[in-house]
């Protein structure tokens, strides 16, 4: 690692043969020098000597005209015995020149160099270009060991050397605020404010960090708590009226940046809907869909748009799931009662219907045939008793469906039941459904058995060869067919206009469908005309580009926000 000094020799620099005394405001080091640049250069050299180090390289920046001045020659001659010295010609008097001149500087700096930046000179010609270089190099990985500048009082024939660290920290603080507001990262703010003792700043940084982690890691169960803490942290600093130091005051004055980015208004604090919109605006599409899927049920239920009148204590749900999510999706949208309306009978796909009847909440396929669940299913749905007994008999022979699929794939199982109907179903399944044994699924087998048992299709007037609709279409058909009496057999009461409720529920089903496809890296493929009609009817896109999905989320959250 080399120690490198960079300084700008301006056309206003003067060479004083008698020399001036400069005193560092940083550590009271005294320097005798004939130019302002020389004072900073000697100060760096003296600081390094105190650490038993040396200055390895000197870079002087100047215009072509100043290069010919005697001051430049003096600086070069006075230092070339100490270190490698390079003069780089730059001209930043025109705005566009900065683009071409800064790369000239960077070409002389290695990735491992430790930099001492001398900001002495005009703001446009020296300070701004060198601050930009410093800002870039720091992000490239170079260490910026110091940023200093020199001032001269001609009347007193003395000068001072000052630190530019405050200006750099202000820029970094502004960058840190923007970094959090656009990417939920807090690393820059934590670095700039690492020594801050103000409790409100510390609490705000902690709340920002917790919020950041819950968003980036998709910890939806922590979002509500972290949003509350973030709101409280913003309010505490915003209302602070005590004597503020410069950094706290600046941080306070920049809170509107965060609030504006998160759609924070005097009426509403940062909430679930505004956070979803923030995720979309800043490219966190998967997080936006996850928040929408997991947290929008809370918005719907907590605003009393939809009331659940059943016993919540009996609803099974995982620790990471919201009770409102289970109520809205499982007890309503996926409810057997919902899917078994006359309209649903014609369109519900058999595997969803069968699972909704005998699959306990939260159970996987391997647990589907628990005896208690089968008895419950027989009692609740007597019209399906025959089909359930058929499946139960097959399970007794083959174990769970996952094992069944594996055995059938390897053709190591036969049906020895005395019941001819079961034998016929079984043999037909082996012959047709599993003809291509490596492409079959357990769902194929359940579907075939239901078909063979005459379930669902006896009541359908569809052609046998006609494709069954997908889950999204089935759900939408049920929702779209809701009437004023839809909840007579349901444990729900709607407190908003039924058309508004349909709109919200269909948007929710679509977002959940999208989220599942993205999480499982599924190919969207082509969509049916029926799905297109549904999407267009409810103001959604019929394609799946990043921009289209982002637009759909904003469309949906805007609609919901308009009802808040």
pLDDT in tens, the chain (564 residues): 899 999 988 866 677 777 889 999 999 999 998 888 889 999 999 999 999 999 999 999 888 888 877 888 888 777 766 778 888 888 766 665 677 888 889 999 999 999 999 998 877 777 888 888 998 898 889 999 999 999 887 767 788 999 988 888 888 898 899 999 888 889 999 988 988 889 999 999 999 999 888 888 888 878 888 888 988 999 899 888 876 788 888 899 988 888 887 765 555 666 888 889 888 988 889 999 999 999 999 999 999 999 999 888 888 777 667 888 888 988 888 776 675 543 333 333 444 444 444 443 333 343 444 566 666 666 766 666 665 666 666 555 444 444 544 554 444 444 444 556 655 665 665 554 444 333 434 445 555 554 544 433 333 333 434 444 477 888 888 888 787 777 676 788 889 999 999 999 999 999 998 888 887 766 666 788 889 999 999 999 998 889 999 999 999 999 998 988
- Within this chain, do residues 64 and 110 fall inside the same structural domain, yes or no? yes
Q: What is the model's pLDDT at position 394?
A: 55
Q: What is the model's pLDDT at position 226?
A: 87
Measured at the CA of 403, the angle between CA 398 and CA 404, to 5 degrees, comes to 50
Q: What is the model's pLDDT at position 359?
A: 42
- Within this chain, do residues 33 and 139 fall inside the same structural domain, yes or no? yes
**CB half-sphere exposure, 138, CA atoms < 13 A:** 18
Q: What is the DSSP string of 451-469?
A: HHTTTTGGG--S-TTSPPP
308-to-305, 385, 459, 477, 487 alpha-carbon distances in Å: 10, 30, 31, 22, 11
- Within this chain, do residues 312 and 215 fall inside the same structural domain, yes or no? no
> Does any domain span residue 176?
no
Q: What is the model's pLDDT at position 408?
A: 46
Q: The CATH number of the domain where 132 resides is what?
A: 3.40.50
**Is residue 328 a contact partner of residue 301, using CB atoms and an 8 Å limit?**
yes
* Domain extent for 144: 3-163
- Within this chain, do residues 325 and 359 fall inside the same structural domain, yes or no? no
Q: Count other C-beta atoms under 10 Å from residue 310's C-beta.
A: 12
C-alpha 487/C-alpha 277 separation (Å) is 32
Question: Nearest Cα to 339, choosing from 322, 324, 323, 355?
Answer: 355
Task: Show the tokens assigned to 201.
Answer: 């700043």
- Within this chain, do residues 447 and 321 fall inside the same structural domain, yes or no? no
Question: Nearest Cα to 3, choosing from 114, 110, 105, 108?
Answer: 114
C-alpha 364/C-alpha 366 separation (Å) is 6
**Is residue 394 a contact partner of residue 416, using CB atoms and an 8 Å limit?**
no
- Within this chain, do residues 137 and 210 fall inside the same structural domain, yes or no? no
Measured at the CA of 140, the angle between CA 75 and CA 57, to 5 degrees, comes to 20
- Within this chain, do residues 409 and 454 fall inside the same structural domain, yes or no? yes
Task: Show the tokens assigned to 408.
Answer: 């059938």
In this prediction the pTM is: 0.62
Helix, strand, coil shares of the chain, percent, nearest 5, are: 60, 10, 35
Classified as helix, coil or strand, 55 is coil
DSSP alpha helix (H) spans, 54-186? 64-67, 70-79, 97-106, 128-140, 165-183
In the chain, what is the straight-line distance between the N-terminal and C-terminal CA atoms, in Å? 59
- Within this chain, do residues 103 and 17 fall inside the same structural domain, yes or no? yes
DSSP alpha helix (H) spans, 141-271? 165-183, 187-192, 199-216, 220-238, 246-253, 255-261
> Does any domain span residue 46?
yes
- For the stretch 491-516, pLDDT in tens is 888 899 999 999 999 999 999 988 88
Q: What is the DSSP string of 213-251?
A: HHHHTT-HHHHHHHHHHHHHHHHHHHT--S---HHHHHH
Rounded to a whole number of angstroms, the CA Rg of the chain reads 36
> Does any domain span residue 258?
yes
Last residue of a domain, one of 444, 467, 490: 467
**Is residue 56 a contact partner of residue 2, using CB atoms and an 8 Å limit?**
yes
**Is residue 311 a contact partner of residue 471, using CB atoms and an 8 Å limit?**
no
> Does any domain span residue 494?
yes
- Within this chain, do residues 47 and 155 fall inside the same structural domain, yes or no? yes
- Within this chain, do residues 78 and 157 fall inside the same structural domain, yes or no? yes
> Does any domain span residue 278?
no
Task: Tell me the residue length of the chain.
Answer: 564
> Does any domain span residue 344?
no
Q: Would you give the distance in Å from CA 167 to the centre of its chain?
A: 31
Classified as helix, coil or strand, 485 is coil
Classified as helix, coil or strand, 32 is strand
Question: Nearest Cα to 34, choosing from 147, 157, 125, 146?
Answer: 157
DSSP letter for 383, please.
G
Q: What is the model's pLDDT at position 51?
A: 92
**Is residue 503 a contact partner of residue 559, using CB atoms and an 8 Å limit?**
yes
Structurally, the chain folds into a number of domains equal to 4
- Within this chain, do residues 17 and 121 fall inside the same structural domain, yes or no? yes
C-alpha 313/C-alpha 324 separation (Å) is 12
> Does any domain span residue 246?
yes
Last residue of a domain, one of 416, 440, 467: 467
Beta strands in 374-527 (DSSP E): 492-494
- Within this chain, do residues 447 and 477 fall inside the same structural domain, yes or no? no
C-alpha 335/C-alpha 489 separation (Å) is 11
> Does any domain span residue 473?
yes
Classified as helix, coil or strand, 24 is strand
């Amino acid at each position: 690692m080399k120690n490198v000094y960079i300084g700008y020799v301006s056309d206003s620099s003067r060479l004083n043969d008698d020399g001036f005394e400069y005193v560092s405001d940083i550590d009271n080091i005294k320097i005798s020098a004939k130019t302002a640049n020389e004072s900073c250069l000697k100060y760096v050299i003296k600081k390094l000597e105190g650490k038993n180090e040396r200055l390895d390289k000197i870079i002087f920046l100047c215009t072509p005209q100043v290069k010919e001045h005697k001051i430049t020659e003096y600086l070069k001659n006075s230092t070339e015995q100490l270190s490698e010295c390079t003069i780089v010609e730059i001209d930043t008097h025109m705005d566009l020149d900065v683009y071409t001149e800064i790369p000239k500087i960077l070409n002389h700096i290695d990735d491992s160099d430790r930099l001492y930046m001398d900001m002495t000179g005009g703001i446009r010609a020296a300070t701004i270009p060198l601050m930009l270089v410093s800002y870039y190099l720091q992000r490239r990985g170079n260490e910026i060991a110091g940023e200093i500048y020199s001032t001269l009082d001609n009347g007193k024939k003395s000068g001072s050397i000052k630190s530019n660290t405050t200006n750099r920290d202000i820029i970094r603080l502004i960058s840190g605020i923007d970094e959090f507001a656009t990417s939920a990262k807090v690393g820059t703010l934590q670095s700039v404010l690492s020594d801050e003792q103000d409790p409100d700043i510390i609490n705000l940084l902690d709340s920002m960090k917790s919020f950041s982690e819950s968003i980036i890691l998709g910890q939806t169960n922590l979002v509500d708590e972290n949003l509350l803490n973030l709101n409280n942290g913003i309010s505490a600093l915003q209302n602070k009226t005590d004597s503020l130091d410069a950094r706290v005051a600046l941080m306070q004055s920049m809170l509107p940046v965060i609030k504006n980015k998160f759609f924070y208004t005097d009426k509403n604090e940062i909430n679930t809907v505004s956070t979803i919109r923030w995720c979309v605006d800043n490219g966190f599409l998967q997080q936006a869909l996850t928040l929408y899927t997991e947290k929008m049920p809370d918005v719907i239920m907590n605003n009393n748009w939809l009331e659940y009148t059943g016993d919540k204590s009996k609803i099974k749900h995982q620790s990471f799931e919201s009770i409102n999510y289970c109520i809205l999706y499982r007890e309503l949208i996926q409810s057997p009662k919902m899917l078994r309306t006359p309209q649903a009978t014609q369109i519900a796909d058999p595997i969803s219907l069968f699972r909704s009847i005998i699959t306990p909440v939260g159970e996987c396929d391997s647990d589907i045939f628990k005896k208690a669940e089968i008895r419950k299913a027989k009692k609740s749905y007597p019209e399906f008793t025959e089909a359930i007994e058929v499946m139960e008999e097959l399970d007794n022979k083959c174990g769970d469906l996952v094992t069944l699929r594996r055995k059938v794939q390897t053709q190591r199982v036969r049906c020895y039941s005395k019941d001819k109907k079961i034998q016929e179903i079984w043999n037909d399944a082996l012959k047709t459904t599993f003809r291509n044994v490596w492409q079959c699924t357990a769902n194929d087998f359940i579907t075939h058995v239901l078909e063979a048992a005459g379930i669902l299709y006896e009541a359908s007037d569809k052609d046998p060869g006609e494709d069954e609709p997908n889950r999204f279409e089935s759900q939408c058909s049920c929702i779209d067919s809701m009437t004023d009496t839809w909840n007579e057999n349901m444990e729900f009461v709607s407190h908003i206009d039924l058309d508004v409720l349909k709109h919200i529920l269909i948007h929710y089903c679509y977002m959940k469908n999208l989220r599942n496809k993205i999480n499982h890296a599924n190919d969207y493929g082509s969509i049916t005309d029926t799905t297109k009609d549904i999407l267009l009817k409810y103001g959604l896109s019929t394609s799946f580009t990043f921009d289209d999905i982002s637009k759909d989320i904003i469309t949906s959250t805007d609609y919901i926000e308009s009802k808040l």
